[in-house]
Structure 1
Amino acid sequence: MEAKPVIDYSQYYQVGGRVGIDIPLANGTIFREWGIIIEMEQDYLQLRLSRDILPQEMKIEVGTIFLLVTGKEGAGLCCRAIVVAESSRRVVPLRLISEVLIYERRNFFRIATYLPMAWQSCRSLSGREIREQWEDARLFRAWHWSELNEAVPMMKPLTQDQLSRFQQMRESLKVKLQPLAANISGNGIRLKLPQPFQVGDRLALQFFIPFSKPNILEVVAEVVWTAPVISSSSVEPFYYTAMQFYFIDERDRENIIRFISLEQLQQIQQLNGNQSRPLPEDVPLLPEELARRRLRKILSVAVFLVVLAALAAWLIPILKDYYSGKSERNLIEQSFDKGIKQYRSGKGANGE
């Protein structure tokens, strides 16, 4: 297997350099911040953020993906980075995880992975029927999850009619999940499907996200692009199908983005091992090192005070003589003034 080329990130990012930061939020927006690189070693760096307090919806935790930007969009460069250690301060430890590319902002970060999921075509349904079916499916997932996990009750209890209807729909709403190769983001997904679809077609999708509650997400997506998969084999044809999410709950979108971050972190750990390390401030100092630092600090203060005292001893007599009229400069000024007066008085006596 050919070795993956090592990227020299120091060509693009240096200690002391300022970088822009794009961070995707669960509501579909991009949070923009900037920071200063205070440490860098190969693909590992520490970034000091410009803000002491981040917005409430912005959480920086292990697995959060940043986009580090230099320059302006269209003319600058960017690289993806992932948070590799916890930090409660403004200093964030990151590891660079992608190539350095021309900066073209996208709505969300993407990842290629295998995702347990299922899909169904909605061609025979109207827009209203698709939405009603999606809402029923989401409500069923929540009810089924609370039924399996009694410690997690539903926020709003179902009516008797809903309970009766879901009991009848239990079999029809069951889905068989299978791992599919997917390129997924918080805004959409691309799949390789065994049948062609047209732009504008809608599909009902179910994703398995292990930490979500319920752990099966219901989403409706709309086809925006499709193309046949070029293959030299004689197997059944497949079609690349790119879709954007049409009906999706924002909490489910947040879980998808979190899933992307955790998957990316797992891939990095598999490639490089667990290379997260504490910040320098977190490393405890030995007593000898602590004593040396204190001694250096005391000596620095002492030298500063000695220099300040010498400067004061030199300046005070000069200033005292100047303001008392005894300085050399004042004697010259007095002689000059006396000469001017004599010249003027002599000029007046001659009648000139």
Structure 2
Amino acid sequence: MPRNYQEYFQVGKRAKVEMLLSDGGTFSDGAVITALSGDRLSVRLSRDELPEGALLHEKAPVSVRVGARGNGYTCRALVLSCREGEDLLMGLIEGVVAEDSRAYYRLQAEMPVTLYKMATGWKDCSVNRPLFPREDYLPRIVNISGGGLRAETEMELTPGDLVHVVFHLPLPEPKTVPVVAEVVQSESREDGYRPCYSAGMKYREINERDRDAVVAYVCNEEIKRLRLNRKEYLSLVNN
């Protein structure tokens, strides 16, 4: 991912700063870039007051987006200074990612899923299983992105199979996402006393609003993990 920040974050350019909310959601505020020096980016937010629960403070993780929808770019950052009446100062910490490429961020996850092989009618279902399953529950998603997912299942899957997939994003209000996916890679392994197949799939049919929800979920979870890793790092340094 490119780190030539000056090509993307020019002074005077409009941007959006996305931050976490205390309830697990996100909030985006418009901004204007006021300065860039190396990886230090300053912006002036459009709002004098942020909504209640906005987690904007020193060392808080945020995302900065520039460009129009469909031709935009995003970079993750940590807040360095957010004093009232002053510009927001951030440290850019990763490469710049094209908005379309965010669909390929993969998140290690554990969530139950219903799989239905369309050619044979074979169904592998997790109905009435907990939202966060134990390791021995199958089928389950083990990683997910806006472009596809990997699932572990007792159903034998081979590349080219079409599968109807239904899963629930574990949001404050769980969202059901139905997709049609194509198996692109599959391998068998033993899972205790039963056969298990680990299958990588790409979405063939998905509502774009659902895809946006998956991408937002993945990005938000990555920001949360980044914040946790930052806290753990600072704890080690301070000790």
Q: Shorter-chain TM-score: what band?
A: 0.5 to 0.7
Compare the two structures and name the one with the higher strand fraction: 2
Q: 1:59: Cα distance to partner?
A: 3.7
Residues paired across the two proteins, number? 200
Q: 1:20: Cα distance to partner?
A: 1.8
SS in 1 for 2:164: coil
Partner of residue 222, structure 1: 178
Partner of residue 190, structure 2: none
SS in 1 for 2:56: coil
Q: 1:182 aligns with which of 134, 143, 159?
A: 143
8 Å CA contact retained: 2:8, 2:66: no
Partner of residue 225, structure 2: 263
Distance 1:258 1:86 in 2: 22
Q: 1:92 aligns with which of 79, 88, 92?
A: 88
RMSD over aligned CA atoms reads 5.2
8 Å CA contact retained: 2:141, 2:152: no
Do residues 200 (structure 1) and 164 (structure 2) align? yes
Distance 2:142 2:60 in 1: 22
Distance 2:141 2:100 in 1: 28
Letter of the aligned partner of 1:98 in structure 2? G
Distance 2:28 2:69 in 1: 15
Q: 1:100: Cα distance to partner?
A: 5.0
8 Å CA contact retained: 2:107, 2:143: yes
Aligned ranges 1:232-311 → 2 under 5 Å: 238-241=198-201, 258-265=220-227
Partner of residue 119, structure 2: none
Partner of residue 60, structure 1: 56
Partner of residue 17, structure 1: 12
Compared with structure 1, are the counterparts of its residues 183 and 22 closer, same or farther at alpha carbon in structure 2 (3 Å cutoff)? farther
Distance 2:28 2:77 in 1: 15
Distance 2:5 2:54 in 1: 27
Q: 1:228: Cα distance to partner?
A: 1.6
Distance 1:192 1:77 in 2: 30
8 Å CA contact retained: 1:45, 1:95: yes
Q: 1:262: Cα distance to partner?
A: 2.5
8 Å CA contact retained: 2:19, 2:28: yes
> For 1:94-133, what per-residue CA distance to the aligned partner results, in whole angstroms no more than 9, with x for missing partners?
23322353x5597xx8743434x2535365699xx95xx3
Partner of residue 51, structure 1: 47
Q: 1:21: Cα distance to partner?
A: 0.5
SS in 2 for 1:259: helix
The share of aligned pairs that are identical, in percent, is 14
Distance 1:125 1:181 in 2: 15
Distance 1:100 1:176 in 2: 33
Q: Which consecutive unaligned segments of at least 5 residues does structure 2 have? A: 117-122, 188-195, 208-215, 235-239
> For 1:195-253, what per-residue CA distance to the aligned partner results, in whole angstroms no more than 9, with x for missing partners?
54744332478x7xxxx99xxx987553342332289xxxx9743235789xxxxxxxx
Distance 2:46 2:177 in 1: 38
Larger Rg: 1
Do residues 79 (structure 1) and 40 (structure 2) align? no
8 Å CA contact retained: 1:82, 1:265: no
Compare the two structures and name the one with the higher helix fraction: 1
Compared with structure 1, are the counterparts of its residues 269 and 111 closer, same or farther at alpha carbon in structure 2 (3 Å cutoff)? farther
TM-score of the pair, normalised by structure 1: 0.40
TM-score of the pair, normalised by structure 2: 0.54
Distance 1:105 1:34 in 2: 23
Partner of residue 33, structure 1: 30
